[in-house]
Amino acid sequence: MSTQVAFEVLDDTDASLGIAEVARLSGLSQDTLRWYEREGLLPAVRRGPDRRRQYTRRDAALVEMLAKLRKSGMPTEEMREFARLVAGGATTHGRRLAILEAHRDRIHRRQAELDQHLVSLEEKMTHYRYLIGAGLDCDGRPVPPEVAAVQPLTATEREQR
């Protein structure tokens, strides 16, 4: 069984989005959009007669993708290469795919590391809950009542005190 995803085809004929709208759509600040341009992450954005940036829907889609790549930890140099390849058209699809696959693999490795760290964190939290519940210090000795009184088991108990 194959799944087919429909993608919207975007063209460059609708240069109608201002920097404020693209910032809102992408979640980036206007300053960050200008930085993306200076750093070569975006091709030169067209300007209107008033010198204001005029983004196309395709430009905005690239900005949104770059924002996601940045948030997911892709290095700036790889983002720059990806954007350069996008400007190269269909002949670069394979190279763009390779960049995205390599980044996906890095994300999976990082997720696995974070999962391991989360297990360690949960084990330590369980250990502290046990010590608090048993009224013990880290050496296994009973804690004085005044210490036990300030060691709630949960955040809810802390709020109730």
Per-domain residue ranges of the chain: 19-87, 116-160
Position 2 scores a pLDDT of 45
Note whether 36 and 42 are within 8 A (CB). Answer: yes
Q: pLDDT tens, 28-76?
A: 999 999 999 999 899 888 999 999 999 999 999 999 999 999 999 999 9
| Residue whose token pair is 């194959």 | 2
Q: What is the pTM of this model?
A: 0.74
Residue 6 has pLDDT above 70, yes or no: no
Give the pLDDT band (50/70/90) at residue 5.
very low
Percent of the residues in the chain that have a pLDDT greater than 90, as a whole number: 75
- The sign of the CA dihedral 92, 95, 101, 102 is negative
Give the pLDDT band (50/70/90) at residue 8.
low
CA distance 89 to 30: 27
Position 151 scores a pLDDT of 82
**19-87 placed in CATH 3.40.50.150:** no
